[in-house]
Amino acid sequence: MKKIAVLTSGGDSPGMNAAIRAVVRKALYHNIEVYGVYQGYQGLINDDIRKLELGSVGDIIQRGGTFLYSARCPEFKEKEVRQKGIENLRKRGIEGLVVIGGDGSYRGAQRISEECKEIQTIGIPGTIDNDINGTDFTIGFDTALNTIIESV
């Protein structure tokens, strides 16, 4: 694998920037080109995909949310719309897609995986809801819980 992309989708949550940074740093360490998809699946459709370097993620770890921004994209449920996003990945030779988000984000990644076998997808659980099966705590849940406790 020589090129991957990372996107954040749905509601943002604390810790997403740290996850993005880890993906970018590890990929670059292994000589894999990394692209950021801005505005989640909407950015995938609109071709808002930019190459990321170490400098792109150097100062993001302390920022809240996600520097790639995030958006809900109901139209991504339509196959024709997804195909446009898939084509935007293909034209760059992107072979892997890392999706950080919740259950809706996972469904989008699953659809891409089913419809485009040459692009491998992986999901990183990022939601304050902590409702992703197979994980004890999602990215963002601990911060959300502690904020609630401190408020009470």
* Rounded Cα–Cα distance for residues 105 and 150 (Å): 29
Q: Is 12 a catalytic residue?
A: no
Position 150 confidence tier, pLDDT thresholds 50, 70, 90: confident
Put simply, whether the predicted model's pTM sits higher than 0.85 gets the answer yes
Looking at this protein, which amino acid is placed at residue 52? L
19-50 pLDDT, tens digit each: 999 999 999 999 999 999 999 999 999 999 99
Compute CA distances 142 → 62, 75, 104, 108, whole Å. 16, 31, 20, 25
* CATH code where residue 19 lies: 3.40.50.450
User: Of these residues, 48, 103, 129, 142, which one is catalytic?
Assistant: 129
Domains: count for the chain: 1
59-95 pLDDT, tens digit each: 998 888 899 998 889 999 999 999 999 999 999 999 9
Q: Decide if pLDDT at 54 tops 90.
A: yes
Domain around 85 = 3-151
Q: Decide if pLDDT at 151 tops 90.
A: no
Query: 65 or 107: which carries more pLDDT confidence?
Result: 107
